[in-house]
């Protein structure tokens, strides 16, 4: 999905990120939180992951204005055990909670061989791959799950229960960028459904249902009281269930159906939990992992795969580095406009 039919401009990454930081601070985020969110959002835009880039900013502004999320929350890190870290995000965003615990998590993973970070009382409104990719850049393997908000009908059920509940994975790969994927366990990510609705596109069958629970190809019908379906039938549905159990059940975060934002008009961010597992492959006595993953990549190319998971993002990233990050003119003007508006509007 792309927004390239509209006129584009190219902006240096640092400039985009600085503007986003200003917008976040203008709308109630502390400098620390704004810095983390701006870097996250700018990197999604840089990588062509448009459903989680600048496209998300009106939602961030709206949810901050609603009082639903605390843009100034200071996460509380709890060192629970040799390989277990828990963070109370204090009703703020998940990314600053991860940032606060990250060093301890890496230290534990390197010492114990594996470590887990359980975040609760957190809002996650971004792509999941930026949470795992940096671990792979340090030679670690990372797996993360986050639940979201009820909008997916479990396979065989009559009404929605699960969130889009993505799973993201990152692993180092010698001589290549990290191997990274980030997949909604729904047939399509919610942001992509929103983009399709905005552009008046139809979606394939099997993506979602309308308000009556009937199959539809109209993204707007899925958003207006309808719902999404899991990817891959009962298997994707089981994975989505696992995400609820790990990201909410284990962490102490809310399940996707447990929060009530009806008193906060404009609230957009699911108030749930997130789990991140980090493994240090250097603990294995086998051939260095990154050489093994490079061998896998070689075989995947030999089998005829022209593009590996995550590869499109790295190509876009290089383009953005050469020419600046691509943003539509309309989006750029909207971002400027967000600087003008009052926090309490």
State how far the Cα of 296 lies from the Cα of 334, in Å rounded to an integer. Answer: 44
Q: Is 280 exposed, middle or buried (0-12, 13-18, 19+ CB in 10 A)?
A: buried
Pick one of 2, 4, 103, 111: the residue that binds its own copies (CB under 8 A): 111
- Of 14-22, 216-224, 231-239, 323-331, the segment contacting its own copies by CB under 8 A is 231-239
**Coil, strand or helix: which one is 97?**
helix
Site string for its own copies, 26-65 (x = CB under 8 A): ----------------------------------------
Nearer to its own copies, 60 or 169 (CB): 169
Nearer to its own copies, 41 or 77 (CB): 77
Where in the sequence numbering do the catalytic residues fall?
51-52, 192
305 touches its own copies by CB under 8 A:
yes
248 touches its own copies by CB under 8 A:
yes
303 touches its own copies by CB under 8 A:
yes
Whether the Cβ atoms of residue 322 and residue 10 lie closer than 8 Å to each other: no
| Residue 196 CB neighbours (<10 A) | 22
Whether the Cβ atoms of residue 272 and residue 163 lie closer than 8 Å to each other: yes
State how far the Cα of 120 lies from the Cα of 160, in Å rounded to an integer. Answer: 23
Please count the residues of this chain forming the interface with its own copies, following the rule CB under 8 A.
72
DSSP symbol at 152: B
**Closest distance between its own copies and the C-beta of residue 155, in Å?**
8
Pick one of 219, 244, 272, 325: the residue that binds its own copies (CB under 8 A): 244
Question: What are the DSSP E strand ranges found in the chain?
Answer: 8-11, 76-81, 84-88, 114-123, 141-146, 167-171, 179-183, 208-209, 215-216, 227-228, 271-279, 325-328
**Closest distance between its own copies and the C-beta of residue 95, in Å?**
21
Within 136-165, which residues bind its own copies (CB under 8 A)? 141, 153-154, 156-161
Pick one of 1, 14, 18, 80: the residue that binds its own copies (CB under 8 A): 80
- Which has the closest alpha carbon to 10: 299, 304, 330, 328? 328
**Closest distance between its own copies and the C-beta of residue 149, in Å?**
14
**Closest distance between its own copies and the C-beta of residue 107, in Å?**
12
What single string gives the DSSP state of each residue in 175-198? TSPPEEEEE-SBSS-HHHHHHHHH
**Closest distance between its own copies and the C-beta of residue 143, in Å?**
8
Tokens of 39: 């870097």
Within 3-22, which residues bind its own copies (CB under 8 A)? none
Give, for 241, the enclosing helix (H) or strand (E).
helix 233-243
Tokens of 280: 């240090």
Nearer to its own copies, 27 or 123 (CB): 123
- Of 18-26, 74-82, 313-321, 337-345, the segment contacting its own copies by CB under 8 A is 74-82
Within 261-300, which residues bind its own copies (CB under 8 A)? 277, 279-281, 283-287, 289, 292-293, 295-296, 299-300
Nearer to its own copies, 282 or 333 (CB): 282
| Residue 257 CB neighbours (<10 A) | 16
Pick one of 103, 199, 215, 307: the residue that binds its own copies (CB under 8 A): 307
Whether the Cβ atoms of residue 169 and residue 161 lie closer than 8 Å to each other: no
**Closest distance between its own copies and the C-beta of residue 295, in Å?**
7
Whether the Cβ atoms of residue 101 and residue 300 lie closer than 8 Å to each other: no
- Which has the closest alpha carbon to 150: 159, 162, 135? 162
**Closest distance between its own copies and the C-beta of residue 156, in Å?**
5
Nearer to its own copies, 32 or 83 (CB): 83
Place of tokens 């670690």: 140
Nearer to its own copies, 35 or 253 (CB): 253
232 touches its own copies by CB under 8 A:
yes
């Amino acid at each position: 999905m792309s927004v390239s039919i509209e006129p584009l401009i190219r902006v240096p990454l640092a400039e985009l990120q600085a503007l986003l930081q200003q917008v976040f601070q203008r709308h109630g985020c502390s400098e620390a939180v704004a810095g983390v969110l701006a870097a996250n959002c700018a990197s999604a835009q840089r990588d062509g992951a448009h459903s989680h880039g600048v496209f998300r900013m009106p939602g961030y502004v709206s949810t901050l204005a609603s009082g639903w999320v605390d843009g100034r929350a200071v996460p509380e890190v709890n060192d629970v055990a040799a390989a277990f870290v828990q963070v109370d995000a204090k009703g703020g965003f998940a990314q600053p909670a991860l940032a606060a615990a990250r060093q301890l998590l890496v230290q534990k993973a390197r010492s114990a061989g594996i470590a887990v970070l359980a975040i609760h009382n957190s809002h996650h409104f971004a792509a999941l791959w930026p949470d795992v990719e940096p671990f792979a850049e340090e030679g670690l393997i990372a797996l993360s799950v986050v639940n979201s908000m009820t909008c997916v009908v479990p396979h065989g059920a009559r009404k929605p229960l699960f969130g889009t509940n993505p799973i993201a994975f990152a692993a180092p790969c010698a001589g290549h960028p990290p191997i990274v994927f980030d997949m909604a366990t729904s047939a399509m990510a919610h942001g992509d459904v929103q983009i399709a609705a905005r552009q008046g596109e139809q979606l394939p069958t099997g993506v979602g249902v309308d308000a009556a629970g009937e199959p539809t190809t109209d993204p707007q019908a899925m958003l207006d009281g309808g719902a999404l379906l899991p990817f891959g039938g009962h298997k994707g549905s089981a994975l989505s269930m696992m995400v609820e159990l790990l990201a909410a059940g284990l962490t102490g975060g809310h399940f996707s159906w447990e929060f009530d934002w009806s008193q906060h008009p404009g609230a957009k961010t699911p108030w749930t939990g997130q789990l991140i597992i980090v493994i240090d492959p250097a603990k294995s006595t086998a051939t260095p992992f990154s050489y093994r993953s490079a061998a896998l990549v070689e075989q995947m190319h030999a089998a005829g795969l022209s593009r590996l998971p995550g590869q499109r993002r790295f190509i876009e990233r290089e383009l953005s580095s050469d020419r600046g990050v691509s943003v539509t003119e309309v989006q750029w003007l909207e971002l400027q406009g967000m600087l003008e508006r009052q926090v309490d509007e």
